Amino acid sequence: MKNLYRPIESVIEDIKQETPNINTYRFRPKEPVTFAAGQFVELTVPGVGEAPFTPSSNPNVTDTMEITIMEVGSVTEALAKMKVGDTVGIRGPYGHGYNLTDFEGKEILIIGGGVGLAPLRSLILALFDDIDRYKKISIRYGARTPEDIVYKDLLPEWEKMKNTEVQQTIDEPHPDWRGTVGVVTVLLDDLPLVTTVDVDVPFHAETAIACVCGPPIMLKFVNVGLLQKGFKPENIYHSMERNMSCGLGKCGHCMLGEYYICKDGPVLTAAQIEKFGDPF
């Protein structure tokens, strides 16, 4: 029987700097770690502690795992000082991810803010592996400045994929930026205001799937925007990665009403969380 508390020794195989304070680490566990897009793991830095992170790599690849991590606390600060060849621990996976069977034949809208695109990258790669199963994939991403954009080299490659579009925005004007300016909700402006299947619009809101990850304030306003556009609450998936600690629903830090985010999430639909008032 698998010991859910035991970290698997994992070697840092590569470190790629995405922004001044965000790196993508590639780990090679001594045992394969299987996960579904949207699930998370606990990463241990020996002598410092552990913290929860959602893998950003393709879930169909099990011999290595990539995690994109922002330097914001003691564990991530210690990790930022580590080098290729150093060892960490990975335990998990935990929680529930996306049920991709429910996405088949539908238009999929993926909305990320800042480092929130990292957990969605795993979903994107999983979708790309079976791209013919999905009607359309639209990736809409917002960052504070051009310097804060993650996956700068991957975004243009994603746009070349079949039936895929990528839109980007930054929060405020910048001399090096020629694209859309404004918070990520401006990228929802071209969605239909009225649900219908009879007009040529980017998305048919009554049947489309939306997957969202980013800061809580972004989740709140994107959720409102999607509901106003006609998306059904049961088709809006939020990656609610907040206050998770043990990963097993034992410590209670991540409770949201009746849910333990680490156990029942971290992917929860708007229909699941709307009964708790303002869960963001």
pLDDT band at 193 (very low <50, low <70, confident <90, very high): low
Q: What is the CATH number of domain 100-276?
A: 3.40.50.80
Q: What is the mean pLDDT of residues 185-207?
A: 73
Q: In this prediction, what percent of the chain has a pLDDT beyond 70?
A: 94
Nearest residue to 209 via CA among 95, 111, 97: 111
Close Cβ partners of 234 (under 8 Å, ≥ 6 residues apart): 269, 270, 271
The two beta strands, 209-213 and 236-239, are parallel
pLDDT band at 201 (very low <50, low <70, confident <90, very high): low
Residue 195 has pLDDT above 70, yes or no: no
Are 107 and 203 in contact by the 8 Å Cβ rule? The answer is yes
Are 233 and 270 in contact by the 8 Å Cβ rule? The answer is yes
Residue 14 has pLDDT above 60, yes or no: yes
> Is the C-alpha dihedral spanning 18, 20, 21, 26 positive or negative?
positive
The four Cα atoms 160, 164, 167, 168 give a dihedral, to 10 degrees, of -60
Residue 229 has pLDDT above 60, yes or no: yes
**Euclidean distance between CA atoms 67 and 23, whole angstroms:** 8
pLDDT band at 111 (very low <50, low <70, confident <90, very high): very high
Task: Return the CATH number of 8-94, one of 2.40.30.10, 3.40.50.300, 1.10.287.130, 1.10.150.120.
Answer: 2.40.30.10
- Same fold across 8-94 and 100-276: no
| Residues constituting the chain | 280
Residue 233, by phi and psi: left (phi above 0), alpha (psi -120 to 50) or beta?
Answer: alpha
Predicted TM-score of the model (pTM): 0.93
Nearest residue to 36 via CA among 92, 104, 113: 92
Residue 196 has pLDDT above 60, yes or no: no
Nearest residue to 219 via CA among 260, 275, 279: 279
Residue ranges covered by each domain of the chain: 8-94, 100-276
pLDDT band at 200 (very low <50, low <70, confident <90, very high): low
b/e for 6-31, b at 16 or more Cβ within 10 A?
Answer: ebbbbebeeeeebbeebbbbbbebee
pLDDT score recorded for residue 190: 82
**Euclidean distance between CA atoms 128 and 163, whole angstroms:** 10
Residue 71 has pLDDT above 70, yes or no: yes
Close Cβ partners of 30 (under 8 Å, ≥ 6 residues apart): 8, 9, 10, 11
More confident residue, 205 or 235: 235
